[in-house]
Structure 1
Amino acid sequence: MNLSLTQQQKLAPMLIFLGLALLILRCATRQPPPGGPEDKTPPRLLSSFPRPDSTNVRNLEYLEFEFDENLDRGSLRNQVWILPELPGLFEIKWKGNKKFRIVFEDSLESNQTYLATIGAGLKDLRGNTLNEPVVLPFSTGPTIDRGEISGQVLGEQAQNVFIYAYPVREDFPDSTIFHAKPRYYTQAGKSGEFRIKYLKPGVYRVYALDDQSGDRLYTLQTDRVGIPFSDVTLAAGGEQTFQHLNFTLIREDTTGPQFVRARALTELTVELSFNEALDPARHIAVEIEDSAAHTPLRVLAREVAGEERDKLILYTEAQQAVRYSAWSAPLRDEYGNSMPLDTLRFVFSGSAQPDTSTARLIEIYPPDKQKNLPYDLEIRFKFSHPVDSVSLKSSFKLLDSDSLPVAGRWRFPSLLAPEYAPDSSLKKGAAYSMEINLAGIKNVFEKPFGDTLFVYQFSTWEWSELGEIGGTVRVQNPGWEKAIIEATPVKGTEIYSVIVNTNQPYLIPFLPDGLYRLKAIIDLNQNGRYDGGQSFPFRHAEPFRVLPDTVKVRKRWTTEGVDISFEP
């Protein structure tokens, strides 16, 4: 189509306007970069000033770091540390988006090794973080200190946990971690491994700290802390490296539980809520009476419940729609801390709401016809209502293949979920049966669970289908006599454990074939479980080691020579 000159002159401004609008719209629209897979590569350091391991650095006014790609400037916040810390502040100045300077306000100490660290939280524009912190050591003197402490923080969410090292002197107080910032620190990497380098010779106490506030101080009940199994000595002119300082994070609690409220859930159930998990093992007597008539309300049973174990459930005889007063001895939390009261007193309004649900057996483990069960099997039940323990014990039988009863012991972690464990290991490749007579089982309210006789059958592993792991836990300290060895399958959650003598052959039997991770704990107090230590008064944790490689278990085979060494 031919346009006249006049038409072209009228159309030109419109075309220019439309072109500008499309350009603006395209620029304002976020689009992925064209071509290629998504960039998941973390930033990489190209250069630094001064260069790593520089000595006789004098009159230094700034540090400089340059990376291979554009960085998220905001992610550098709280990710720069200079150790030992400077008395004054420093300023970050960017030179584009790949390079930045750390400008000092104060001069540096003479004859001192410094370590500048860029934390693993630094990101590129894609959100990719550093694989591990970037460190820049340099010295204002003629030499660089070479002391080094390394280890690993075990468990979930170990990445970016801080490792704090304090020089220990004769007057070093246990409370140091609460009020004094560490002279040296670093962060754990993605696998929890850490390395503090360039330390002066001396004695150090090292902690792992999940520092929630970032104030370089330990806050009880807020931060998780890892306690060392030993202080570390880096000898002048001698051994300058200490390895395998491993940590497990714990949350310490020094205050007792606080009562929140009491309420009746039904005419037969009262729920007491607290601000933290309770000790389920402690038996507490609770007395309840009508506030006006002073008529007692009988408590039939009680138990700790709730996902957080922060509820105490009281099962009572039928309540009335009246006000009740109650009292009990003070409760303890799961750490053994008692409530700061001589007597817990509370009130609640009774409920006339009847409990119309049917009492029933919900689940049994193992299920019927289950095969390849372990020899140390625990039988577990799940009931809809709190079970009367006496009637359950008299209405359950575990029988072997000759119909002979298998003796065992009952555990009641909850009246809704009792457990039965045989006194001795079950036989290899053997058939067993369970008889549960519901007609004889009642709940604590004297209501039956039904009239069915359940007969479940199961069998254990054939010995020929299992393997073993053997080796030695090697130690030099003569006081380290006992060790707990835990074998955890790579695919699975069950933990197979044995308690053994150190420096003597051990054997972990009855393992299904597969890959396993091994961990050894020196059981110093010989209580059969790991002790994570204590911050104040200070008590060292128990030492432990984790084999870096998995162990292969094969059927009908002993995988030998799996030694776990605590030797330097």
Structure 2
Amino acid sequence: MRSHNHRPIRPLPLLLWFLLCLLPGCAMKVAPTGGPRDTTPAEVLSVDPASGATSFSGDQIRFSFDDYVDRAIRNAITILPTVRFSVSYAGDEITVEFQDTLTANTTYSVTIGTDWSDVRGNRPLAAYSTIFSTGPSIDTGIIAGLVSAKTLTNVAIFCYPWADTAAPFSPWETPPRYRLPCGISGTFTIRGLADGRYRVLAVRDENRNGLVDAAEEFAVAPADVVVQAASSQPVRLKLGPAIDRDPPVLTRARALTSQLLTLQFTEPALLTPTWQRALEVRSARDSVIPALAAWPDPLQNDRLLVRLAAPVDTGSCRVMISAGMVRDSAGNYVDTAQRTLLRGVSTADTTSLRVLSIEPRDSSRNVLRGQPIVITFSDAVDTMNAQITVEHRAPQGAVQVRTRWASPISFVIEPQEARELKTWYATTLGFADVRSTIGRSIRDSSRVLTMLTEERPIDPGSISGRFVPSDEMRACSPLVVRVLASNGTIAASFRPDADGSFRLDRIAAGEYSLDVFCDRNANGAYDHGDVRPFTFGESWWPLPTKISVRPRWALENLSITP
């Protein structure tokens, strides 16, 4: 009888199990590979529930695509009115699940923006929105418009239903009901709105908290937007800078030597003419030490240096600044007393007085015809008694100059008339009796420096013509047209004559664009509104006209139309 030898049963190799899992029934969604490069972006095939659904009572929306999408698509989703949500990913499907209970009888829109790609890196050409309602009908109103800014990173539209125009408006503490990130083009559309009045802002929402924070750029629409019969007028918003409302705050005082202090502020602080009366340094023995001079620290613009008339003791000293001592560049003055402590040091003040720098430097070339000469000293100078002689000469003879002290350490020399082109100038400086506020004399007795002025600058051109406003613009007065350089700076502006005619001379050669705004407060500048107190922005329109200005060329009969 034939015997049979049975081999022991061994576990299936791991690779075999993996291959079996690739059979139908154990399949995983993966992006297809191979073939020519696909450059067509993925598109939405279907939405569940379908757009336009009413009486919605679910807690999720499912999107199906015709290709596999990148997981980062979750960051491109916006829900209006704003609710919290999460996103689950399944290759060519995503599911948006609502984390908050939806409001009854409300139309919602779910928008997938353009800041995403499929797995091959193809980005969509346009956003996709689906709309549904928790009530029996769909609101079909829209607010659409344009935002202009140097960049649109983190710029979002804040939209607030605003039926009661007398109610307090506090966007710095109340998030909007509708928050929509701007696309890369700056255009936006808010859908699913009921008829009514809405307040609209554009905000660079850096921290994405849905609030207008103090340091964030923003713009306020020129009026509340009224949605009527599901439509509204277009909104144009030009982002403006955050408005500085706070004066400098003294945060720290420190003794560098026994007679030299630094005062640290929250921002650059500018001294007022009455600063000496507003500054008090009181020693540990409760005696007041007068201040001889104060000036901005050349190395750190949010610090002031203070030179004292006598040494401070090594105990704890008090520093107090009163209202009116300093202000910031926005004109916010310190309006209440601020105090801090410092500990004196016994380090003797051995600061010598010397010239730190002279600008422009010796032998400089291409110096502008009206450029001043600035001498910077190492310490505060006794400006009341300092004697500095200045001789500024060209080959043709002496040139008249004006001199002034810009600060205790900065002496400025300005030509009374523009210098000649492509000419060497020599400046002789004499320091006959120049001492610091603590009596130290400067070592230099004189300096001589030379400079070569610029060659012939490119002659400017001129433009003239007629501006023809639109009917919407005609309703505003006065209108101001601006000529904008490629970097956004304003090269010129004008108010058209009654017939729209204008002329601009001395326009530097270059390429320019144009815009126009309604100067409601007649200050000659575009105002983008405010939130404290609330103020509407001024109406603003970009213009399609592009201008190319050539040197020594008159561009005439230009017609500017919206």
Same fold (TM over 0.5): yes
Quote the residue 2:78 is aligned against: 81
Quote the residue 1:263 is aligned against: 254
Quote the residue 2:548 is aligned against: 552
**Structure 1 pair 384–559 and aligned structure 2 pair: CA distance change class (3 A):** farther
Q: Does the 8 A contact of 1:322 with 1:350 survive in 2?
A: yes
Q: Deviations for 1:438-492, whole angstroms, at most 9, x for unmatched residues?
A: 52584643543723443444445647643345556666467744748464355xx
Picking from 155, 159, 166, the partner of 2:153 is 159
Q: Tell me which structure has the larger Cα radius of gyration.
A: 2
Q: Deviations for 1:39-72, whole angstroms, at most 9, x for unmatched residues?
A: 9x896444341699x5465547443334566555
Structure 2 CA distance, aligned partners of 1:282 and 1:534? 31
Q: Does the 8 A contact of 2:226 with 2:232 survive in 1?
A: yes
Structure 2 CA distance, aligned partners of 1:131 and 1:306? 50
Quote the residue 2:47 is aligned against: 49
Picking from 533, 536, 548, the partner of 1:540 is 536
Normalised TM-score (structure 2) = 0.72
Give the Å deviation of 1:185.
2.5
Structure 1 CA distance, aligned partners of 2:303 and 2:550? 45
Structure 2 CA distance, aligned partners of 1:470 and 1:392? 52
Give the Å deviation of 1:207.
1.5
The answer on 1:312 being equivalent to 2:304 is: yes
Normalised TM-score (structure 1) = 0.71
The answer on 1:288 being equivalent to 2:285 is: no
Q: Percent identity?
A: 18
The answer on 1:134 being equivalent to 2:127 is: yes
Give the Å deviation of 1:190.
3.8
Give the Å deviation of 1:314.
0.9
Helix, strand or coil for the counterpart of 1:217?
Answer: coil
Structure 2 CA distance, aligned partners of 1:370 and 1:539? 49
**Structure 1 pair 386–188 and aligned structure 2 pair: CA distance change class (3 A):** farther
Give the Å deviation of 1:349.
0.4
* AA at the equivalent of 2:74: L
Give the Å deviation of 1:100.
0.4
Mark the runs of 5 or more structure 1 residues left unpaired by the alignment. Answer: 1-15, 18-33
Quote the residue 2:347 is aligned against: 352
Helix, strand or coil for the counterpart of 1:76?
Answer: helix
Structure 1 CA distance, aligned partners of 2:522 and 2:420? 30
Give the Å deviation of 1:537.
1.3
Q: Does the 8 A contact of 1:160 with 1:189 survive in 2?
A: no
Structure 2 CA distance, aligned partners of 1:541 and 1:119? 27
Give the Å deviation of 1:129.
10
Give the Å deviation of 1:99.
1.6
1:105-144 map, 5 Å: 114-119=108-113, 122=116, 134-138=127-131, 140=133
How many residue pairs end up in the alignment? 514
Give the Å deviation of 1:500.
3.1
* AA at the equivalent of 2:79: I
Helix, strand or coil for the counterpart of 1:250?
Answer: coil
Structure 2 CA distance, aligned partners of 1:132 and 1:561? 39
1:319-468 map, 5 Å: 319=311, 322-323=314-315, 324-330=317-323, 331=325, 334=328, 335-337=330-332, 339=334, 341-342=336-337, 344=339, 346-356=341-351, 359-365=354-360, 368=363, 370-371=365-366, 373=368, 377-379=370-372, 381=374, 383-386=376-379, 388=381, 395-396=389-390, 403=397, 405=399, 412=406, 415-416=408-409, 426=418, 429=421, 431=423, 433=425, 435=427, 437-439=429-431, 442=434, 444-445=436-437, 447-448=441-442, 450-459=444-453, 462=456, 465-468=459-462
Quote the residue 2:20 is aligned against: none
Picking from 168, 180, 185, the partner of 1:186 is 180
Q: Deviations for 1:508-548, whole angstroms, at most 9, x for unmatched residues?
A: 5151x343455666655455655443212112345555666
- After superposition, the CA RMSD in angstroms is 4.8
The answer on 1:215 being equivalent to 2:212 is: no
Structure 2 CA distance, aligned partners of 1:130 and 1:402? 67
Q: Does the 8 A contact of 2:253 with 2:340 survive in 1?
A: no
Q: Deviations for 1:4-47, whole angstroms, at most 9, x for unmatched residues?
A: xxxxxxxxxxxx99xxxxxxxxxxxxxxxx999x99x8964443
**Structure 1 pair 59–510 and aligned structure 2 pair: CA distance change class (3 A):** closer
Give the Å deviation of 1:245.
2.0
Mark the runs of 5 or more structure 2 residues left unpaired by the alignment. Answer: 1-12, 15-32
Structure 1 CA distance, aligned partners of 2:435 and 2:481? 39
Q: Does the 8 A contact of 2:322 with 2:335 survive in 1?
A: no
Structure 1 CA distance, aligned partners of 2:34 and 2:409? 58
* AA at the equivalent of 1:97: G
Give the Å deviation of 1:152.
2.0
Q: Does the 8 A contact of 2:141 with 2:230 survive in 1?
A: no
Quote the residue 1:6 is aligned against: none
Q: Does the 8 A contact of 1:463 with 1:556 survive in 2?
A: no
Q: Does the 8 A contact of 1:203 with 1:234 survive in 2?
A: yes
Helix, strand or coil for the counterpart of 1:177?
Answer: coil
More strand by share: 2
**Structure 1 pair 85–347 and aligned structure 2 pair: CA distance change class (3 A):** closer
Q: Deviations for 1:287-332, whole angstroms, at most 9, x for unmatched residues?
A: 43543383x5442321344777432221334636634444331455
Quote the residue 1:147 is aligned against: 142
Give the Å deviation of 1:136.
0.3
Quote the residue 2:61 is aligned against: 63
Quote the residue 1:278 is aligned against: 269
Give the Å deviation of 1:150.
1.7
Q: Does the 8 A contact of 1:42 with 1:123 survive in 2?
A: no
Quote the residue 1:7 is aligned against: none
Q: Does the 8 A contact of 1:166 with 1:184 survive in 2?
A: yes
Helix, strand or coil for the counterpart of 2:202?
Answer: strand
Q: Does the 8 A contact of 1:468 with 1:553 survive in 2?
A: yes
**Greater displacement, 245-254 / 385-394:** 385-394
**Structure 1 pair 520–455 and aligned structure 2 pair: CA distance change class (3 A):** farther
* AA at the equivalent of 2:306: L
Structure 1 CA distance, aligned partners of 2:320 and 2:230? 64
